[in-house]
Structure 1
Amino acid sequence: MMVRSQFFTSDEAEPVMVENADGKGEVLLVCEHASRTLPARFGTLGLGDDVRTSHIAWDPGALDVTRLLSKSLDATIIYQNYSRLIYDCNRPPESTSAMPVTSEIFDIPGNRDLSDAERFARTSALYVPFHDRISDLISERKAAGRNTVLVTMHSFTPIYHGAHREVEIGILHDADSRLADAMLDNAGDTAFNVQRNEPYGPQDGVTHTLRLHALPNGLLNVMIEVRNDLIRDEEGQRAAADVLDGLLRRAIAVHGL
């Protein structure tokens, strides 16, 4: 039987995954909501299969698009290997959304009445190593004289609280809009409905990773949201990745990188 302090079983994967670690491109791709996997100790969190595979547990298609961009841009990827229902790594520990009791219309029984010890355990096991790895990689690249452009990758549901979302790709930014501005300057040439800070914006607390890593280091940065019904299959994923590749390349070039 596992003791309480043992967060993962011996055969479970590490929470932080890195792909194309030796990539030579300027872009560092981060995918906080890449997986719907729950650590074994949490069982189902009291949720049915339909909820645990839905958008509240992860960002469907986001990692697939991220991997395509990694290939085209020769970019390193860092992603979280467990569901945001256990800990949302795009939220600070003090946020109620970090370990949500409800998400959209769904209650999450396994997250009710968490003790301080349990919150600390989740933060230590998931949030801290994830963001430490991002910080370390940025520092390593800086020491090697390399530029870093931080791009976080997400997907969103086409229907939220019963309302249909017309936006197809969101280009999100916090206080530093340099890269987002340059991407949006060319977005009118795409076949997608591309909008600024939609369907979320910094007022919703979604730019935590950018605030934590990009803003203090003066890095060009952007958060990208793709509507998940558009990236359900390989054809859709490639179409989105091709458009994002073009927008990123032109925007980065504008800034002389």
Structure 2
Amino acid sequence: MKQVKVLVAAAILILSGCASKQSADAQATAAKQANLPKEVQQEIPDPFEGVNRAIWDFNYDVLDAYILRPVAVGYEAVMPQFARTGLLNAANNLEEPSSAVNNLLQGKGEGAAKSTGRFLINSTVGLLGLIDVASHMGLEVNNEEFGEVLGKWGVNTGPYIMLPAMGPTDTRNFAGDLVDSAYFPLDDLTLWIKALRISIKAVEGRISLMAQEQMLNDSLDPYLFVREAYFQRSQFKLYDGNVPKPQVTEKEEEDFEAFLNDMN
């Protein structure tokens, strides 16, 4: 099963690389033809926008409106806070081993040690992760995903994808998620435990977004709003909060200023 997941992930990465190159080539051609600076032409890779928008509409107008949001509201109202915190802690604790490996693959020895320590402590003293004892001992969460490892190794994000029920992703992170799910103990969980874990994280994630609903509803294009937010968050995680500023040459600045002047 693990080998199949890794092979699927590899296939997705190959397709991602091809699609990314085609998208980049198309953007470069358009920029050349329009004689615009690349700051203006560079866009988020979304070659499947038509399909993505249809899935977004289904996710937000149907699944979220009639299932996920009502469940999240009810869960928040009925479930005591201590129980919610415990269940979410246990769900997150199962990701610590994969986080330890992913930290190590990026040369983050301290992060790998913290994730390993957190898993051992919370799985024993913390009653299978229900209590986050490790945080009280100074071992803060240092979560890393395999998609971030690929990003550090120079793999592009590939096309943006909106998945039914699961929401936004890209081919790099989707492939990374498949690899992460092959690590112990996630791959050894029963189907029902996996479903319970995913449900808890999905509901808690939806609850955390309640405060931003108005911002989404007020946006001119909710689809673009979510897409931009997704890639900004992805970049923030990839660079551990220190996203580098783009390097702009003097010639590019002059071209951009000329473009703005033409617009006026």
Q: TM-score range by the shorter chain?
A: under 0.3
The structure with the largest alpha-carbon Rg is 2
TM-score between the two structures when normalised by the length of structure 2 = 0.27
Tell me which protein shows more helix as a share of its residues: 2
Point out which structure has higher relative CO (alpha carbons under 8 A, 6+ apart).
2
Structure with bigger strand share is 1
Q: TM-score, normalised on structure 1?
A: 0.27
